[in-house]
Structure 1
Amino acid sequence: MAVLLHRWGVFAVRRCRTVLTVWLFVVAAIAVLGVTFAGSFDSQSDIPGSAAQSALEEMDHHFGASDRQSAEVVFEAPRGTSFEDPGNAAALRRTLSAAATVPGVTSVSDPVRSQTVTPDGTTAVARIEFSASADQDVAEGDLNALKDTAASSRAAGVDVFFGGDAYKESSPPVGPMEGVGVLVALAVLAITFGSMLSAGMPLLTALVSVAASMTGLMGLSSVLSVSDKAPTLAIMLGLAVGIDYALFIVSRHRAELVQGRSVRDAAVRATATAGSAVTFAGMTVIIALAGLTVAGVPVLTSMGLSAAAAVAVAVVMSLGLLPALLALAGERLRPKPGSRAATRMRDAADPAGKPSMGARWVGAVVRRPWRAVITVTLALAALALPATQLQLALSDDGSEPTSTAVRQTYDKIADAFGPGTNGPLVVLVTDAPTGTLKTTGQQVAQNLAGAKGIARVSPVDYSSDGAAARIQVTPGTGPRDPQTSELVAALQERVSPLAAHSGSSIAVTGQTAVSIEVSDKLSGALLPFALVVVGLSLLLLMAAFRSLAIPIKATFGFLLSVGVSFGTIVAVCQWGWLAGTLGVPSTGPIASFVPIIVMAVLFGLAMDYEVFLVSAMREEYVRTRRPYASVIGGTRHAGRVVTAAALIMVAVFASFLFSHDPAIMPIALALAVGVLVDAFAVRLTLVPAVLSLLGHSAWKLPRFLDRWLPDLDVEGRHLEDKEDGRIDSPGTEPVPMTYLHAPK
């Protein structure tokens, strides 16, 4: 890997202007094509071919289904009155009559005829349908005009609330708070490098890669189904890893410059060595994200592949564009002699130099390793305890912020008609023997009437073609309540004997049942995916470090980090701890796809820090054969850049915590906490302590595994067997290869 990247680095720095021109042309072409052929993102979260989804499609075939945008209007009569009062009833009728004349409105339901008035007559709900299709936004002017029709009702003292899908706010995947995260990242880079030019380079390449990946996604959405949650996740990961990967390469380039190499030599060496590690780290993230496809859930597949593509673009941009930019920047990136940056780099390369804060911390850890191992393990295990209470469900309007019209309408309907009204179930009867459909439908309705957990059972509704019957069931609990999920399973078990006896097909369906089915599928995929991730981490790290102990230790630390991440989102997003302080708009079950995505992303990022830090320690061990000194020496070389990378990622992820999408917020929180814990508690504390305890055995691999596993050469060792890589200064002495730190 390092040899191939070395060859590319030589070409890129020699033809830097050509490479830059080609890259600009490619990115511009992607942007133009993506914007020109942009499609719309998909908000569906079903599983094609699943039992509930198939029954829902069958029901739509027999009864018909609207594919148009709709809104719900809730009317509340003044206190002490009802809509049986002539004045209130007249005000309601005037509003509905005016609503029917609003441009874009195709139908307005009558609450009395549709039986959407509470028994006491104090609350009524009307459904408004628009001409806009379900995947389009209703014109803002039409929505405002519809709201204006409530003036006559409000004048009569009636409260009116507008909600439903049509009033869901569509916002861009990034906003001002994400910009704050970028500024924090720039500040960390500036402090790390001591140079605004050096700090701006990783940020520039990351932003260019995000622009390319996002416009590409926009274009692909016209031919492929791309989840509407995919862009935010792709931007979040693409920005974080894009900055970090470029940071490692620029850091290595400047370290080579401090040692006196020419600009071109330094850029080539940085591309070959740090670039190898970036490639390995990026591949782990991409493989983990692409592995989300095994769950068989389209929305998860879309999110995983979109994020993997964004990470791939960030890796390619760091390796392809950055060497040319380093060559073009020339001597301006070389730290000035005597500057703070130059002094820090020389100290990192000199064992007698002043140790960094990270090296001093690790020195204290390895002096009492058992204390560090026990303290960190117990502390992280305690923080992970809330994860045992994790509850999963797909997000709905009840997950929206309480300040939105959609959430307010949702809550009003739940208060007036019961929480199950927002998530009704349907029992569908089809394929009944000739002449038995009505009898079977009545039997099903009678059977459901006595079921526990049901608030209401509607009369049997028969399709116009006489081939299907449906009974709407209103649960006593809300759509995201675990008891509703139990009710779906109980109803299916309850109607199965009737299906067998009557010879009919009887299924529990409806959008709530489909969501529960998707949630169960995702929950069931979590453990198998975890086993795959753990097994993959063991193999990759064994191949990278030629060690058996290091992969086991790294995997144990990764599981602790994941546990703390899950525990945090349970405590904050499910239990409500610090929810107001962190801006979490609503609490309740966690979106079902959150844990598996967090696990996939954290796996890749944890392997990043493991590679960047432990490779430096391994190289010190190979040079000195002193286990204790190699741990401290490796930290001297890589600790500062790993710390900066972790802080940047935490800043980027934390900025997305204030995202408009309540399904993305738990992911951002989990990743921010996970990276913070993994980088500082695991990689900079637990890992050095364990390595110092293991001594020489930490760097051993059984012979049969050593022969079987491929040599990934993430440190660029094979370059030592070739020329030392200079393209400008062939007369100087070879300098030993190192990883992410200055040559010695």
Structure 2
Amino acid sequence: MGNGDTRVRGIAARAGGWSARHRWAAVGIWVLFVVLAMGIGSAVGRVDVDESDQLKGETHTAAQIIKQAGIEEPAGETVLIQSKDGGVKATDAEFRAAVDAVVKAVDATGKVTDVTSPYDTHTISQDGRSALVQFDMRGDADTSGDRVEPVLKAVKEVQKNHTSLRIEEIGGASMMKTFSDAFGDDFQKAEYSAVPVALGILLIAFGALVAALLPVALAITAIMATMGLMGIVSHLQPMSDTANSVMLLVGLAVGVDYCLFYLRREREERAAGRDAETALRVAAATSGRAVIVSGVTVCVAMAGMLFTGLAGFEAMGLASLMVVAVAMVGSVTVLPALLSLLGERVEKGRIPFLHRAMRRRNGGTGGTNGSRFWTAVLRGVLAKPVVSVVVAAGALLAIAAPAIGMKTENLTLDQEFGNSLPIVGTYNRVNAAFPGGSEPAEVVVKAKDINAPEVKSALADFREQAISSGASRGPVDIKLHDAENIAFVYVPLVGGSDRDKAGASLEKLRDEVRPATLGKVDGVQAPITGQVAGSHDFNDQLVGSVAPVFAFVVVFAFLLMLLSFRSLTVAITSIALNLLSVGAAYGILVAVFQHGWGASLVGAEGVGAIVTWLPLFLFVILFGLSMDYHVFVVSRIREARMRGRTTKDAIAHGVVTTAGVVTSAAVIMVAVFAIFGTLSMQSMKQMGVGLAAAVLIDATVIRGILLPAVMALLGERNWYLPKWLHRLPDLTHDESALMAPPPPPPAVEGEKVGV
């Protein structure tokens, strides 16, 4: 082999060596794996999360009762008929004529069933100026949005003939269609635009088309393979469209990052004068090892979502875990083979201006100069580490402070979409006239004989007490399914779109009204479900899973860092710095989306809360992704220390040599996540802003200032491992065996490093 030929322990080094020696076999195996995964996944199909498995508690019980009975609940639709100026009342002839016209028009489409008049169901507001015509869509509720267009057109035609009234439709099918039309392409646009954005940044980073395409190609093939694996695995753990979107997001981020780390190290070694074989071997044993440590840590973090007990979270966690694992394996196996095959051709497709700029940044062919900016910053940090720690940590704690008052809730329609859709106005008007009418509680009553006198009496008592208790203003609607001995009771909740008040009404139904009525009849089940109940049960389950998820992720990440670096100090500081960056991301989210500071800059005015699932999701994702940079930087510092540099010189060398690649990787992640911050849905906007802000903080303040300052203060204690821990497995390797003896360590100001 080339210079510095020494056998090196480590999975990454062995995998890279095998790959380089068996180049075509490695590439062929990877291509075969991707093709087989996609083919088998497509053949078996993907099983998505069933509504009955989404949650535990009463929501789950109700869904199971409906599922076991074989009842297909149709998509319910409502037409609001309302006086525009308050001059026309429901008792007036004009109003009655409009109601009759709506009933006839929707019925004539042939797409609906069970059309009811407000005069029969008493769905007339207390002020007498609003009424609801209600009906169900024929066919499967999940596809009702595809069939509702003729009904919407029929309602619009009636509106044209009654200009003094407001006639608007809302319901499961119409909302499905509206969202699909307005935002159905949003995710696809974001996902498709993420790839060219990442490619553009890589072109700037490398200045050559082939080098820039390699990370993107690896990420895309890893995503393709994972999509196939999701289909296979979904027969054991159902998946979802949301899990697919998260997988794409995480897969692109880590796939590009891992390849970027590997490729930049290989180029750096070649630029330093080493032959291609040795350069590749060094990259495999150093950056390849960092990729494996980082990948395993990210997988552990993603596995934390499996402890929530929420089917949606479990799907996201498993999908993310799989794509990280696939990208990690691809980076340490097929990438060395491709680099070995390409050789100098990896520089093909040079873009003159960008390539010259890149070479100027890297100091030409005879060596590489560290980032001037980070060199200057690091000089100050290492000169005054105490001040640096106090200032940087103090700033991050100040940014994190708003998170103390974080308010989480499942966003209502107007919070999620603001005034961007006309249907939001309809939603608000229905809730104002009929509190809770657009999202009623649904009581699923199962009895041995639904028509038994005692059951009918209990149903009547429930209807009466639901109103008399103050939980509902009515009307309470009951639909019987005699053959299945099941009844559905629909109860509009007082509070309407105010989730806190509606939640209190739900508790009153569950804790007071139900026990006093249906609860007194033996053999009767009456779980209460619906939008508000689903949100309530989701929150309860999510809150209950926070502690075990946090504990699992933190403990296992700590153990992995301890085993990978054999340093108790490195493990503790890794966890502390990661928690600080997550806290800062929480603070930014609360400041912008809850308190509204700078909300207009991201189109988030008036949200007033953080979507319930986001804090736990962000913690898991960020804790995993931030390990990328930490492992990469600390690995380089440890490598320099093992080669004989002092700890201070090793810190300087490690941070500045990784500055360019960490910056490039962070810019790609921030750009990809920021794309999701441009989406119209506030929950996706919050996710994008939170992820982008956290990665930016992590790659700058944490890795560029706090990490070197803390390590400088600790000195040789960075490598402290108590004697009683020496029996732990040794997952490190001797980096000093990779190189010829290093030149004398230069000062930070003149640091010759790779960027």
Q: Taking structure 1 as the reference length, what is the TM-score of the superposition?
A: 0.86
Deviations 1:514-562 (A, max 9, x none): 3311111102211332222222222122212222222222222222211
Residue 57 to residue 14, structure 1, CA distance change in 2 (3 Å): closer
Distance 1:326 1:683 in 2: 29
Give the corresponding residue for 2:325.
312
Distance 1:603 1:379 in 2: 20
1:8 counterpart = 2:15:
yes
Give the corresponding residue for 1:417.
434
1:134 counterpart = 2:141:
yes
1:206 counterpart = 2:213:
no
Give the corresponding residue for 2:149.
143
**Which residue of the other structure, out of 476, 481, 489, is the alignment partner of 1:458?**
476
Residue 179 to residue 257, structure 1, CA distance change in 2 (3 Å): same
- Asked if the contact 2:641/2:650 (under 8 Å) is kept, the reply is yes
Deviation, structure 1 residue 355: 5.7
Distance 2:524 2:114 in 1: 33
- Asked if the contact 2:295/2:328 (under 8 Å) is kept, the reply is yes
Q: Secondary structure at the match of 2:677?
A: helix
Q: Which amino acid aligns with 2:587?
A: G
Give the corresponding residue for 1:517.
537
Give the corresponding residue for 2:494.
476
- Asked if the contact 1:427/1:472 (under 8 Å) is kept, the reply is yes
Q: Secondary structure at the match of 1:159?
A: strand
Q: Secondary structure at the match of 2:10?
A: helix
Distance 1:413 1:215 in 2: 44
Deviation, structure 1 residue 240: 0.9
Give the corresponding residue for 1:197.
210
Distance 1:656 1:469 in 2: 42
Q: Secondary structure at the match of 2:119?
A: coil
Q: Which amino acid aligns with 1:154?
A: K
1:114 counterpart = 2:121:
yes
Distance 1:443 1:152 in 2: 39
Q: Which amino acid aligns with 1:524?
A: G
- Asked if the contact 2:648/2:712 (under 8 Å) is kept, the reply is yes
Distance 1:688 1:259 in 2: 25
Where do 1:222-371 residues align within 5 Å?
225-333=238-346, 341=358, 356-371=372-387
Deviations 1:404-461 (A, max 9, x none): 354343223112212x223323556666998644555565556555546654473888
Deviations 1:187-217 (A, max 9, x none): 3323322323222221222123223333544
1:562 counterpart = 2:582:
yes
Distance 1:486 1:373 in 2: 46
Deviation, structure 1 residue 272: 3.3
1:404 counterpart = 2:421:
yes
Where do 1:495-574 residues align within 5 Å?
498=516, 509-511=528-530, 512-574=532-594
- Asked if the contact 1:541/1:551 (under 8 Å) is kept, the reply is yes
1:20 counterpart = 2:27:
yes
Bigger mean CA deviation after superposition, 557-566 or 211-220 = 211-220
Distance 2:506 2:396 in 1: 37
Tell me how large the CA RMSD over aligned residues is: 3.7
Distance 2:514 2:146 in 1: 46
1:154 counterpart = 2:160:
yes
Distance 1:174 1:59 in 2: 32
Distance 1:460 1:135 in 2: 23
Give the corresponding residue for 1:376.
392
Distance 1:13 1:628 in 2: 35
Bigger mean CA deviation after superposition, 455-464 or 295-304 = 455-464
Deviations 1:691-730 (A, max 9, x none): 111111122110111323x2222xx52793xxx69xxxxx
Q: Secondary structure at the match of 2:149?
A: helix
Give the corresponding residue for 1:494.
512
Q: Which amino acid aligns with 2:89?
A: S
Q: Which amino acid aligns with 1:413?
A: V
Distance 2:483 2:370 in 1: 85
Deviation, structure 1 residue 612: 0.7
1:485 counterpart = 2:503:
yes
Q: Secondary structure at the match of 1:663?
A: helix
Deviation, structure 1 residue 258: 1.0
Distance 1:293 1:480 in 2: 31
Bigger mean CA deviation after superposition, 49-58 or 342-351 = 342-351
Q: Which amino acid aligns with 1:510?
A: T
> Runs of 5+ in structure 2 lacking a partner?
1-7, 746-751
Distance 2:484 2:52 in 1: 31
- Asked if the contact 2:56/2:537 (under 8 Å) is kept, the reply is no
Give the corresponding residue for 2:5.
none
Residue 355 to residue 412, structure 1, CA distance change in 2 (3 Å): closer
Residue 297 to residue 188, structure 1, CA distance change in 2 (3 Å): same
Q: Secondary structure at the match of 2:120?
A: coil
Bigger mean CA deviation after superposition, 47-56 or 378-387 = 47-56
- Asked if the contact 1:2/1:273 (under 8 Å) is kept, the reply is no
Q: Secondary structure at the match of 2:324?
A: helix
Distance 1:349 1:676 in 2: 32
Give the corresponding residue for 1:92.
99
Distance 1:45 1:61 in 2: 10
Deviation, structure 1 residue 365: 1.3
Residue 151 to residue 563, structure 1, CA distance change in 2 (3 Å): same
Q: Secondary structure at the match of 1:477?
A: coil
Distance 2:307 2:498 in 1: 25
Give the corresponding residue for 1:597.
617
- Asked if the contact 2:444/2:529 (under 8 Å) is kept, the reply is no
Residue 481 to residue 313, structure 1, CA distance change in 2 (3 Å): same
- Asked if the contact 1:432/1:504 (under 8 Å) is kept, the reply is yes
Q: Secondary structure at the match of 2:687?
A: helix
Distance 2:444 2:110 in 1: 36
Q: Secondary structure at the match of 2:118?
A: coil
- Asked if the contact 1:3/1:718 (under 8 Å) is kept, the reply is no
**Which residue of the other structure, out of 72, 79, 85, is the alignment partner of 1:73?**
79
Deviation, structure 1 residue 599: 0.6
Give the corresponding residue for 1:729.
none
- Asked if the contact 1:44/1:299 (under 8 Å) is kept, the reply is no
- Asked if the contact 1:429/1:470 (under 8 Å) is kept, the reply is yes
Distance 2:332 2:312 in 1: 30
Q: Secondary structure at the match of 1:321?
A: helix
Bigger mean CA deviation after superposition, 326-335 or 37-46 = 37-46
Deviations 1:351-382 (A, max 9, x none): 9x666322321221121222221222222222
Residue 26 to residue 56, structure 1, CA distance change in 2 (3 Å): closer
Distance 2:554 2:162 in 1: 64
Give the corresponding residue for 2:748.
none
Q: Which amino acid aligns with 1:633?
A: H
Q: Which amino acid aligns with 1:100?
A: D
Distance 1:435 1:259 in 2: 90
Deviation, structure 1 residue 287: 1.5
Residue 639 to residue 706, structure 1, CA distance change in 2 (3 Å): farther
Deviation, structure 1 residue 226: 1.7
Deviations 1:489-518 (A, max 9, x none): 454343586488776767551222133111
Deviation, structure 1 residue 639: 1.8
Distance 1:303 1:561 in 2: 22
Q: Which amino acid aligns with 2:529?
A: G
Residue 577 to residue 682, structure 1, CA distance change in 2 (3 Å): same
Residue 446 to residue 348, structure 1, CA distance change in 2 (3 Å): farther
Q: Which amino acid aligns with 2:122?
A: Q
Where do 1:671-690 residues align within 5 Å?
671-690=691-710
Tell me the matched-pair count.
723
Give the corresponding residue for 2:4.
none
Q: Which amino acid aligns with 1:124?
A: A
Q: Secondary structure at the match of 2:492?
A: strand
Deviation, structure 1 residue 658: 2.3
Distance 2:44 2:134 in 1: 34
